[in-house]
């Protein structure tokens, strides 16, 4: 005897419900569904931490080396695979003889991509293969044109902004205050 449409609908609904409960039970046993879901929540927290660490390092950072009047640019780029590319371009900056502008001469720059890593403690490890200029080689009495810069950088407090120098003339410039003392500073 053939089943009625109502009976077929009820049987289909019961089979679908049983399959849904079975899938939910298997998923719950795998730790993917619980309220609240600690496993999924931990994955979200870990991902957020990794993204926050990387995103704060992306972009163009100014590198100031006061002892040699160097001013540089260190650029970081986050790649899709989670690695960070780094490159540098550093120049010596001095006033020109007429004090109307500044001269800059190349000191060193990246010839291939370097790398950077950010640890859990926000320490930046930086590895930069660079090529130095002829002027740099003369001043440093070296014959090696390609060198490696390796750095371990700690986070520090810093403030930056515009400053007005008032004297015979008023000049607008920049000031950066960093809570860190370099080895050059003896006072």
Counting beta carbons within 10 angstroms of the beta carbon of residue 186, is it exposed (0 to 12), middle (13 to 18) or buried (19 or more)? exposed
pLDDT at 9 exceeding the cut of 80: no
Give the integer Cα–Cα distance in Å for 149 and 143.
Answer: 16
Query: Two tokens at 183?
Result: 């080895």
For the residues of 69-105, what is the DSSP string, one character each? TEEEEEEEEE-TTS-EEEEEEEEEEEE-TTSSSEEEE
The answer to pTM > 0.75 is: no
- Give pLDDT, residue 21: 75
pLDDT at 20 exceeding the cut of 70: yes
């Amino acid at each position: 005897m053939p089943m009625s449409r109502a009976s077929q609908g009820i049987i289909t609904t019961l089979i679908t419900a049983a399959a849904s409960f079975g899938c939910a039970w298997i998923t719950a046993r795998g730790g993917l569904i619980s309220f609240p879901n600690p496993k999924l929540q931990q994955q979200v927290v870990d991902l957020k931490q990794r993204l926050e660490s990387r995103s704060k390092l992306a972009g163009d950072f100014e590198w100031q080396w006061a002892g040699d009047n160097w001013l540089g640019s260190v650029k970081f780029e986050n790649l899709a695979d989670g690695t960070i590319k780094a490159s540098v371009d550093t120049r010596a900056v001095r006033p020109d003889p007429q004090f109307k502008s500044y001269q800059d001469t190349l000191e060193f720059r990246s010839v291939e991509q370097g790398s950077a890593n950010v640890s859990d403690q926000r320490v930046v490890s930086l590895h930069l293969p660079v090529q130095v200029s002829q002027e740099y080689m003369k001043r440093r009495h070296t014959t090696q044109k390609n060198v490696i810069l390796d750095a371990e950088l700690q986070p520090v407090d810093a403030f930056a902004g515009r400053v007005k120098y008032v004297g015979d003339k008023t000049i607008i410039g920049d000031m950066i205050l960093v809570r860190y003392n370099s080895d050059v500073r003896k006072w």
